[in-house]
Amino acid sequence: MRKPVMATKIQQAPKVGMVSLGCPKALVDSERILTKLRADGYDMSPDYAGADVVLVNTCGFLDSAKEESLEAIGEAIAENGRVIVTGCMGNEAELIMNRFPQVLAVTGAHQYEDVVGAVHKAAPPARGAFVDLVPNLDAIGGLKLTPRHYSYLKISEGCNHSCSFCIIPDLRGKLVSRRIDAVLREAEKLLAAGTKELLVISQDTSAYGVDTRHEAKMWKDREVRAHMTDLARELGQLKTTDGHAPWTRLHYVYPYPHVDAVIPLMAEGLLTPYLDIPFQHAAPSVLKRMKRPANEAKVLERLQNWRSICPEIAVRSSFVVGFPGESEADFEYLLGWLEEAQLDRVGAFRFEPVEGAQANALDGAVPEEVKEERYQRIMAKTAAISAAKLQAKIGRILPVIIDEVGEADEDGSIGATGRSQADAPEIDGNVFLRDVAADLRPGDIVNVAIEDADEHDLFGVVER
């Protein structure tokens, strides 16, 4: 009589929860951490209750962001009790540990090995002949916290600027560019995994490769430099799973002269006609106090030139109001500049002191009520510009990438939400579609007839 075969009991994998705060660059850090942990045999938990340990990836750019991060840490401790902190507030470990002595470990921004090591210590990974068959997720694009059809592609860490309102170089260090062959390889894997839209991010995308003197590497059968223009051209030659070029957006681009060279790539269709440029202000005196380039007149000329080369180009930017020393005349100058610049998408922020920033020592603090009044005025100005630009698109046919498809209503009609090439996810507008086909899916790119518009969004129907 044969002896019964004893079933092998596989050790249950520990589960990790993640709270990711801050900018897309932090989101990429979270994805990399989770990818490494998943490859080490961990499962992911969608809630506090099911997690053996919770990671909180913090933001420390503004005091309000720090407070939000601290609140998230407190909530994770209250709901779970086993918490590891990482991210930009990692350089304030003493503050975190004094407020939350229960925290298991604190690691800094993009210190992947340290945070993974802390997780291993807090919840040792399940090991064994079967668990170790977990696939190499790095080889298939890694775990993503964004929808399948778009991905952030981080090309560098840190920043060489010393803007008086910013502490990013203190948090993330000086510029460190990734090898261009590594960036392109990651982009290729993301596209093979279903990505249709690449969002290129860093602290200063136009400075990519400066620290390595634009070192060239072999890619395919040729040498390619670590330079923003070369990178954009190569990304435009990659293909999605359906054989098309991906939508590729450049974010956080400082307006250096060499940025002019990427505009023809947009006109050729190799690069999405979209630039995210953080101008921050336009008044020369404010830019000087911010320690930023103050050649605002030249920028207006370049915007005009870019539009002559690529009429479809959309430019988004962000501005700070109420910076120390900003006079009413400075603010009026900014409003006039915006009227002339006619930027497509604009975000505005009330100045907020950040601990450790040089701007804290500047005189001329602007009262909070004045900041608020200026914020409302700049938002009204930019909303009016946006509304006029979107009204001009009514009657046109635009390519739209689908983000979400709704359920059929009582009449069987299905709606969907997408974005035009002028709209990056999460920060810009949407295109709302009516009466879409039942087989429409997120990530599909369709031609849309624009029927209506408001201040920020478009409305239309898929062209049949």
Tokens of 94: 């003493």
User: What are the beta bridge partners of residue 51?
Assistant: none
Residue 434 in tokens: 């009516």
State how far the alpha carbon of 139 is from the alpha carbons of 13, 39, 152, 393, in Å. Answer: 21, 11, 17, 41
| Single pTM value for the model | 0.77
Q: Which pLDDT does position 122 carry in this prediction?
A: 87
Q: Residue 217: beta bridge partners?
A: 224
Model pLDDT, residue 3: 53
Judge contact between 86 and 106, C-beta under 8 A: yes
- Tell me what pLDDT residue 294 has: 54
Report in angstroms the alpha-carbon separations of 156 from 177, 178, 328.
Answer: 4, 5, 38
> How many residues are listed for the chain in this entry?
464
Reported as a single tens digit per residue, the pLDDT across 325-351 is: 999 999 999 999 999 999 999 999 899
**pLDDT for residue 393:** 97
Q: Which amino acid is at 346?
A: V
Ranges of residues in the chain with a pLDDT under 70 are 1-11, 39, 110, 126-145, 293-297
Angle at 418 between CA 412 and CA 422, to 5 degrees: 155
SS3 367: coil
3-state secondary structure of 117: helix
Q: Where are the alpha helices (H) located in 243-402, listed in sequence order? A: 263-267, 284-290, 296-309, 328-341, 368-391
Provide the 3-class DSSP secondary structure of residue 454: coil
199: helix, strand or coil: strand
pLDDT in tens, 378-436: 999 999 999 999 999 999 999 999 999 998 888 889 999 999 999 999 889 999 999 99
In this structure, the number of other CB atoms found within 10 A of the CB of residue 49 comes to 9
The strand ranges marked E within 191-273 are 197-201, 216-219, 222-225, 247-250
β 150-154/314-321 pair status: unpaired
pLDDT at 139: 42
Predicted pLDDT of residue 131: 40
The CA distance from 93 to 106, in Å, is: 6
Is residue 122 within 8 A of residue 84, CB to CB? The reply is yes
